[in-house]
Chain A
């Protein structure tokens, strides 16, 4: 087995032509060790979501090579790519719009297994219940519809669906950004627990520095499609090399201390 479950080398993607040309991803390389999390941080328009989509081939990159478990998965036909697909899943930002409003959540979680022809109806139902249990939704809600759940519960259901095919690698694109503060921590902890239990590897795309620091082993900073720096989370947040990274970290409002607030009042 390769050391890195996922590798992408020199990925580029350009949209539009002539004066309208936008280089969304400009020669980005990354690799993620098995069972670890690579956080991708960037402001809006930095190309972080395009990068996430390119490496799953949801958007075809213009150039670059992608390897899964050491095997090249870029430039091959979709028919040959398909067996790899089930090992890579994605969790999106908006938990409600990523679920079909007309489908019960149980069927939504079962859907990937049905498409792949895994098991029979009964065994799939059983697996749906297991998955719901894993993500902390009581299996008796399998027949309920997405609108009946809160945002945090909907995101748990999306996670259950992403896990249905036993993937090895999951791209989380702003997976907690639409959630309330008290729910964000629940979902982040759930993702981290699942990683340990199921030996998952994550690419975690976010603009939220606190969340990325909390759950990432390594962090890649992007700006205008280009790589700014990539290192271990400790390195990036405690010892940032680049001016842009430093500015980003300093802009995050931190919880003021009582002493700081006292000083402000007496001023």
Chain B
């Protein structure tokens, strides 16, 4: 086919070096800022001793493991444009299921873990069914679920913390190190890599992002939209289940409040992460960067003895700033809307 000579290239971006700069800024801006934060706290006189220490690193990773997996639980359905506000509540339900199998029923560890995963996946699958079969609005449905689950948890536990007879294998896994690093990494790293692989390198991940871009077009290129959304919610639920088991391991107990409290930190990390790696789109690696960005900043600030309000202001501010930067880059670079 001949190329029409009359076609001009008015659509081209404004010169190569500029485009490269914009692209780099979009993709890795948050990482550059993160490096700056690390550098600052490593050299700042008040924190240069405690911040870069191994002990601090271990605490940081240990405390970020659960919220990282909750963030991934958000990312999977969000890639298809469905926000699951009940993921954190499902994490809580899963941790209670794990603890109560060992504590109340004196079941073996493997059964406890399985129960935790099953509860998470079941919550996700239920959400998926209600949304795709009954056509409920995802935000409202999962909001309802995120209120319902804690209620059920309080009813089940009587509001008490479940502590007795938790397997020491599990609690040690949650708190001790191997080779100087938290054992939790043995689960965290593979889960992150698997999610990244699934979303970025398989047809399934591409189907999810097609649905996220335009569900009607997705249907007409042969994607079974309802089924795929349902499976993404189930998968998100399973990730929430994994987070629940890790939460039980980390805390050595389970209560009704811990899980649901991850909702906003994890969600903020997802949106902070949507400003990097794949700008404008929620993505797994970005979400992990988001989690650690916040954790590192909070750690540095608290070591420096900052006032209690400082972490909140810093985190909220950086989220707003990151979103603003992404929007700006998006307008200039012609990613997303902005050009006709």
Chain A complexes with chain B: no
Interfacial residues, chain A to chain B (CB-CB below 8 A) = none
Interfacial residues, chain B to chain A (CB-CB below 8 A) = none
